[in-house]
Amino acid sequence: MKKKNNQALISFYIITIFPEMFTSISHYGVTGKAIQKKIIELSFINPRDFTEHKHKSVDDRPYGGGPGMLMTVQPLYLSIKHAQSLLKDATVVYLSPQGIKLNQNNIFNLIQKKKIIFVCGRYEGIDQRIIDSLIDEEWSIGDYILTGGELAAMVIIDSVSRFIPGVINKKKSLENESFCNNLLDYPNYTRPKEIYNMKVPDILLSGDHNKIRLWRLKKSLEKTLEKRPDLLEKKILKKKKKIF
Ligand code: 21W
């Protein structure tokens, strides 16, 4: 079947000792569809398949002492080299708490890349020599501690999938989205008009689209001022950019 021109293909190679975790995004919802339609392509490389250690181990104790274990060089090195041979010119990204903290802007820039190799660490991290020799970029998804890079990779793939043409068809639903314009969403309502003594605001039933647009903008601004004043400051700095 021929691919439609508006469908950008993004390939992710994921280096992980827990590839089964990714069934959660492959089988469900928007990301599941995107993968089914081959708009997003996920491939897995398991360092355990590349270990030359007699007990198939992929971790060892840190030199100099300290808590926990680290992922060793050898299985990761061969895994990354293998991924690079299958996905030429890909950006190699190590997911770690030390990385650049991702936001909506980074995610948007990411879809231009098309080819990404994610290295998911487990234990207390990976040997620094892998980072120095094979990693192009190091990314974090926020200032809290996870148990490994897999959930971070899934968060990124999930978020990226919203940006790809053909994944979410309704262009409009993306245009007004939270964070795109540094505003939080306005309140939303669907049928019925009244339930359990709770009503939909009259203005949304008025059919006056200009008034509705202004009401939504007002609500968005109010909500943002109340909950995330930091976003409004960003917005004022970027005043020239048109909103809504
Ligand atoms: C968490 C690894 C904490 C290491 C020596 C001994 C990927 C992540 C991760 C993890 C530590 C991301 C230490 C936000 C995250 C991830 C696993 C710290 C200290 N050093 N984004 N002990 N948060 N986390 N080790 O945790 O792999 S992206």
Stretch 101-125: mean pLDDT, rounded? 95
pLDDT tens-place string over residues 131-140: 999 999 999 9
Ligand 1 neighbours by CB, cut-off 6 Å:
66-68, 95-97, 121, 124-125, 140-142, 144-149, 152
Verdict on whether the full-model pTM lies above 0.85: yes
Residue 127, annotated ligand binder?
no
Best probe residue, ligand 1, of 124, 138, 144, 157 (max atoms within 8 Å of C-beta): 124
Residue-level pLDDT at 3: 47
Q: Assess contact for 193 and 200: CB atoms under 8 A.
A: yes
Q: Is the pLDDT of residue 169 over 90?
A: no
Which CATH superfamily groups domain 10-161? SPOUT methyltransferase, trefoil knot domain (3.40.1280.10)
Q: Does domain 179-243 have CATH number 1.10.1270.20?
A: yes
Distance 83 CA to ligand 1 centre (A): 23
pLDDT tens-place string over residues 46-84: 999 999 999 999 999 999 999 999 999 999 999 999 999
Domain borders along the chain are 10-161, 179-243
For ligand 1, atom 20, name the residue with the nearest CA: 124
Residue 146, annotated ligand binder?
yes
**Cα–Cα dist 231/185, whole Å:** 12
Higher-pLDDT residue of 87 and 167 is 87
Q: Is the pLDDT of residue 171 over 70?
A: no
Distance 127 CA to ligand 1 centre (A): 13
Is residue 7 very low, low, confident or very high in pLDDT (cuts 50, 70, 90)?
A: low
Q: Is the pLDDT of residue 165 over 90?
A: no
Query: For a pLDDT cut of 70, what percent of the chain falls above it?
Result: 89
Q: Is the pLDDT of residue 160 over 60?
A: yes
The DSSP secondary structure of 1-67, one letter per residue, reads: -PPPTT---EEEEEE-S-GGGGHHHHSSHHHHHHHHTTSEEEEEE-GGGT--STT---EEPPTT--S
| Helical segments of the chain, H only | 23-26, 29-36, 73-86, 104-110, 128-134, 150-161, 171-175, 209-227, 229-237
For ligand 1, atom 11, name the residue with the nearest CA: 124
Distance 98 CA to ligand 1 centre (A): 8
